[in-house]
Structure 1
Amino acid sequence: MVALARKSHESVVVELPASVEDGGERGSVATVDIKQGDDVALAYYYKARDLEISEAEQKRVLRKIDLHLMPLLMVSGFLQYLDKQSLNYSVIYELREDLGLVGKQFSWVSSMFYFGYLVWQFPSLLLLQKFPVGKYFSLQVLAWGVFSFLMASTSNFGGLAALRFLLGAAESVQLAAFIIITNMYYKRSEQPYRLMLWYSMNGVAIIAGGLFAYGVGHINSNVALWKFPFIVCGSLSTIWSVVLFFLLPSNPASAWFLNETERAIAISRVYENKTGVESKVFKREQAIEALLDPKVWLNAIATGSGNILGGVGAFAGLIIRGFGFTKLQTQLLQCPTGLVELISLIVFCTIATYVPNSRLAVAMFATSISLAGSIMLYAVDINHRWALITGFWLMVGFIPNSFILGLGTVSANIGGYTKKLTAQAIFFILYSVGNIVGPQLYTTAPYRQGLRANVVSLVIVLTCNIINLAYMIYENRERRKYLAANKDHLKEEDYAFRDLTDKKNPFCLNVL
């Protein structure tokens, strides 16, 4: 077994069996002095590297991680998207009329979610660093479930806007926590597929939400129909938070579903990432490096621009109904959007996983399809409603590929725990800004200003991705030159789990 004891801030005692197959006999005790982050992970790694770990054993541990971790993230992602989109389902059933929303008030209600997201983003990232990821995330799920449920009790613009703000603040942790968790358990080559698994739940949620909203339209009740999405979605998230609190581990070293030898294998697997596992120390120099790194900003600008399309989320029902469909038809016609998103994510993220250095190329191809859909949506005459709805499906269904592969690029290519968190903060701040701006562009039907902005936004996304690809190719070339010139005295293991940034670790080559 493994015995871990923190003797001080500077040392960790680890005891591991001499081999994986030895039945658990005790090995020698090693005290590892740690002066930088990832202390427990480094202690595990130093002992695990001497074990004879077979490929079959590594695959068995990977399957075990997938079986226990992915369902937790996937269900959480599904419920998060349902909660966020419940406003879209409710607006078709007279929410605006019952609450007396006039002018741009509905646009502001939609944007308030991302004001909350923006305000709480960086504090949330700091709390993720200070506290166990699993426990903090589960408490945030509880919060967003309660806020979603309470939206059914609102009676005016102020109450709804305030709760949307709080909902956004609570949900701001989700993507950041998922990226951190994925990076802690999976090799860089394995990450795109796992990112796809939990992010594709957005597509499943769109399908399920559309069918659910269609069913709501057939309810005969004294309770206003617009309240049901908030009540049901909020209740599900609240219940799920209890499950997460007990089942979601904060890191591989505390994963309840792995025995202590398997934890060592899990940590040694991600050694090749060259980006560390977890550090509880905020490092100012890493934060500054993130602020000065071009690839951080190129990813963030592409994300912010792409998420101006987020305005479509809250207005999807209104846009589709504007094509001439009934209320119930409108709810059903949102389902194919989710199907297109789900299929495209599976196809493109699988390609990005199994074709080396194809992430940005795949993202650009998906963005091009989304751009074609946005042009259709803007240029086609309103009388051709099936051409318009097809353009809508293409635009909304393909752009998530660019977003999730951009997230994967940040996760895979940014080293240093503080730098990674700072990069994610920049990423999600611009993500929030894009989503705040988006709804404000949809003022009056047929929303021409918003549809035109979508075309411009997607052109910016493509441009940023092209520049980012060229920059990362340049960085890789320079690092290879440095490694070749210093190959006699550089050792990869000297950089393992030392919480170094990608720029301080010459072995950390960008995944393109």
Structure 2
Amino acid sequence: MPGSIRDYVDNVLFVPDSQVSPVRSRTDSDDGVAETQLHQRGMVTIAASAKEEKEGDAYADKEIFSTTTATEEDGVPSLNHPMEKRILRKMDMFLIPLMGLLYFLSNLDKSNIGNAEVAGLSEDIGLKGKEYNVCVTVFFGTYVVFDPIGANLLKIVGPHLMMSVCLLCFGAISLATAWVKSYGSLLAVRLLLGAFEGMIYPAINMYLSVCYRREQYAKRFAFVFSAACLSSSFGGLIAYGCSTINGSMKSWQYIYIIEGVISIGFVPAYYFGLSKNLEDSWFFNKEEREYIIERYKTMNTFNPDESFDWFQVKLALKDIKTWVCAVALFGIDLTTFGLTVFLPIIITSLGFTNVRAQLMTVPVYFLTAIVFFICALWSDRMRLRSPFIIGACVTTSIGLAIVLGSQVHGVRYFGVYILCMGIYVNAACNCLWLSGNNGNYFKRATALGINLFFGSGSGLVSGQIFLAGDKPRYIKGLSICLAFQVLSIFMTILQFWLYRRENQKKDKIIKECRERGEPIPYDEKLSDLNPEFRYLY
């Protein structure tokens, strides 16, 4: 093996020799068995045509993916296999609505404290000073801890059990919040809520990466995570409806009761509608189940035989791209979490009444959902992530600048529309980018857990920068959000450069192997670190 290849495996990939199994290749002397193994793991096949030989490095900048053109007779699952369309249609029909609904309910119960505050929560239970901000903040104390747990726990207990239990628990906690009487009791329920809510986002993310190839799931994420935008709109409508109820309880209590009951009511759909293993889902027939089992071998996002391995955890921890992505998400989510909770309060400060402020959030989030869905579709079609992250951060920054720079209520409300159009695009694409560029399940789960730990950790900060004393303009909070959006732009550019550099190094290894007539190194434990795995940009 050329020295540069060994350097690549040992130094570039940060893998000690003692932990790497012997390098295998697609052209070993075992009658093509290794080639078949490589193909089945979804690794890329690069054709060395005569034209490429003449052009030298011409292929180095090409984004090449596994696009085998297998037919049904071949029996090899691929993007173009007729059976692929059948199972995708069924997953889209049954799984995507369930995942979207779960994320919808999660965000509904997570952000309803902002609507409850506008409806009189603090006044009724006697919150003083910064106590409301502390109640917002402590939610993220447990949320960030359970983010990494949720990503790894999904494969161990199965989505049907994990998701139904989390839904039942956070629905019951939301329902119980209607009867809090003091600052201490509100703190307690917010801590509990954060624990169960924290596992939902990574569980959904990881589950979709198990079900879909990485070329397929941005569009599915668009459907699922548009639910976050719609939940904020729906939350405003529920809050408005509750304000018209003339009952024995306060409006904010009805908000928690209604939203908690809704969540609990959908628990059976997850327990009975999902299975521990995708191939065991009730809506697949025998032929489709057999195809799904074979399909795993051609996916670089999931291997059902994978078991927890500390080696994969170390790979994720040692990868600088994991940390760069996490810092970028922190800056992105600082605005996302801050606006989700404090937007009704900010709109109230623009001169609208409490009741009308609830309604004014609805069109903002509806537009956000539409923009997010369109961007996700194009991101999938173009197989690009970074341009959409950067574009969304720029859009959010412009909106923040408008809200900060103007004292005219109408202009500031327009700025709210601009900044909200980007807050879900950049966050979702950031996580998609990281997920798609990590091959092994537990490496991906660890990297995503770290990413979400940082992102959710921004909620600890957001609750402390939008202070009541800064009304009506919230200059401090919005200025900090703007600064971190700019930081996220630079971190995303750095992440792009790191991925591009790694692809170029891999191209160099492949080129050297071809010139020397030597096998291209491949080790299953290295997953995305293998030379033929192409990083998305």
TM-score norm. by structure 2 comes to 0.82
Q: CA deviation at 1:141?
A: 1.0
Distance 1:176 1:52, change over 3 A: closer
Among 250, 267, 270, the alignment partner of 2:276 is: 250
Among 181, 194, 215, the alignment partner of 2:241 is: 215
Q: Which residue of the partner structure matches residue 194 of structure 1? A: 220
Q: Which residue of the partner structure matches residue 418 of structure 2? A: 394
Q: CA deviation at 1:299?
A: 1.2
Q: CA deviation at 1:473?
A: 0.8
Among 93, 113, 117, the alignment partner of 2:143 is: 117
Q: For 2:277 and 2:325, how far apart are their aligned partners in 1?
A: 26
Question: Does the 8 Å contact 1:299/1:427 carry over to 2?
Answer: yes
Q: For 2:333 and 2:479, how far apart are their aligned partners in 1?
A: 14
1:104 counterpart = 2:130: yes
Q: Secondary structure of 2:422's partner?
A: helix
Q: Which residue of the partner structure matches residue 211 of structure 2? A: 185
1:374-417 C-alpha deviation (Å, 9 max, x unpaired): 11111112xx1111011112212312101101111121101212
Q: Given residue 282 of structure 2, which amino acid in structure 1 is its aligned partner?
A: W
Q: Given residue 197 of structure 1, which amino acid in structure 2 is its aligned partner?
A: F
Among 323, 339, 344, the alignment partner of 1:317 is: 344
Say how many residue pairs are matched: 460
Contiguous gaps of at least 5 residues in structure 2: 1-36, 42-71
Q: Which residue of the partner structure matches residue 479 of structure 2? A: 452
Q: CA deviation at 1:317?
A: 1.3
Distance 1:169 1:250, change over 3 A: same
1:89 counterpart = 2:115: yes
1:203-254 C-alpha deviation (Å, 9 max, x unpaired): 1112222122111111111111110111111111112122101112333232
Contiguous gaps of at least 5 residues in structure 1: 1-33, 39-47
Q: Which residue of the partner structure matches residue 59 of structure 1? A: 85
Question: Does the 8 Å contact 1:371/1:395 carry over to 2?
Answer: yes
Q: Given residue 478 of structure 1, which amino acid in structure 2 is its aligned partner?
A: K
Q: CA deviation at 1:111?
A: 1.0
The correspondence of residues 143-154 of structure 1 with structure 2, limited to 5 A, is: 143-154=169-180
1:476 counterpart = 2:500: no
Question: Does the 8 Å contact 2:222/2:373 carry over to 1?
Answer: yes
Question: Does the 8 Å contact 2:103/2:224 carry over to 1?
Answer: yes
Q: Secondary structure of 2:428's partner?
A: helix
Q: Given residue 109 of structure 2, which amino acid in structure 1 is its aligned partner?
A: D
Q: Secondary structure of 2:527's partner?
A: coil
Among 346, 361, 375, the alignment partner of 1:348 is: 375
Q: For 1:351 and 1:241, how far apart are their aligned partners in 2?
A: 33
Q: Given residue 200 of structure 1, which amino acid in structure 2 is its aligned partner?
A: S
1:373 counterpart = 2:399: yes
Q: Given residue 66 of structure 1, which amino acid in structure 2 is its aligned partner?
A: D
1:358-384 C-alpha deviation (Å, 9 max, x unpaired): 211112112111110011111112xx1
Q: Which residue of the partner structure matches residue 533 of structure 2? A: 508
Q: For 1:136 and 1:171, how far apart are their aligned partners in 2?
A: 12
Q: CA deviation at 1:264?
A: 3.4
Deviates more, 1:57-66 or 1:223-232: 57-66
Question: Does the 8 Å contact 2:510/2:520 carry over to 1?
Answer: no
Question: Does the 8 Å contact 2:239/2:252 carry over to 1?
Answer: no
Q: For 2:305 and 2:358, how far apart are their aligned partners in 1?
A: 45
Among 448, 456, 470, the alignment partner of 1:432 is: 456
Deviates more, 1:207-216 or 1:371-380: 207-216
Distance 1:409 1:52, change over 3 A: closer
Q: CA deviation at 1:50?
A: 5.6
1:278-316 C-alpha deviation (Å, 9 max, x unpaired): 456321121111111121111111111111111222211
Question: Does the 8 Å contact 2:404/2:479 carry over to 1?
Answer: yes
Q: For 2:144 and 2:187, how far apart are their aligned partners in 1?
A: 15
Q: For 1:253 and 1:491, how far apart are their aligned partners in 2?
A: 33
Deviates more, 1:254-263 or 1:449-458: 254-263
Question: Does the 8 Å contact 1:275/1:500 carry over to 2?
Answer: no
Q: Secondary structure of 2:301's partner?
A: coil
Distance 1:500 1:134, change over 3 A: farther
Q: Secondary structure of 1:250's partner?
A: coil
Q: Which residue of the partner structure matches residue 16 of structure 1? A: none
Among 306, 314, 327, the alignment partner of 2:354 is: 327
Q: CA deviation at 1:178?
A: 1.0
What root-mean-square deviation, in Å, do the aligned CA atoms of Structure 1 and Structure 2 show?
Answer: 2.1
Question: Does the 8 Å contact 1:311/1:440 carry over to 2?
Answer: no
Q: For 2:305 and 2:412, how far apart are their aligned partners in 1?
A: 49
Question: Does the 8 Å contact 2:368/2:421 carry over to 1?
Answer: yes
Question: Does the 8 Å contact 2:520/2:531 carry over to 1?
Answer: no
Q: For 1:126 and 1:184, how far apart are their aligned partners in 2?
A: 12
Q: Secondary structure of 1:246's partner?
A: helix
Q: For 1:170 and 1:49, how far apart are their aligned partners in 2?
A: 46
Question: Does the 8 Å contact 1:183/1:277 carry over to 2?
Answer: no
Distance 1:490 1:216, change over 3 A: farther
Q: Secondary structure of 1:398's partner?
A: coil
Q: Given residue 114 of structure 2, which amino acid in structure 1 is its aligned partner?
A: N
Q: For 2:259 and 2:296, how far apart are their aligned partners in 1?
A: 36
Q: Given residue 154 of structure 1, which amino acid in structure 2 is its aligned partner?
A: V
Q: For 1:187 and 1:170, how far apart are their aligned partners in 2?
A: 28
Q: CA deviation at 1:511?
A: 1.1
Following TM superposition, where does structure 1 have runs of at least 4 consecutive aligned residues deviating by more than 4 angstroms? 267-273, 487-492
Distance 1:391 1:115, change over 3 A: same
Question: Does the 8 Å contact 2:163/2:200 carry over to 1?
Answer: yes
The correspondence of residues 292-303 of structure 1 with structure 2, limited to 5 A, is: 292-303=318-329
Question: Does the 8 Å contact 2:210/2:301 carry over to 1?
Answer: no
Q: Secondary structure of 1:276's partner?
A: coil
Q: Given residue 334 of structure 1, which amino acid in structure 2 is its aligned partner?
A: T
Q: Given residue 510 of structure 1, which amino acid in structure 2 is its aligned partner?
A: Y
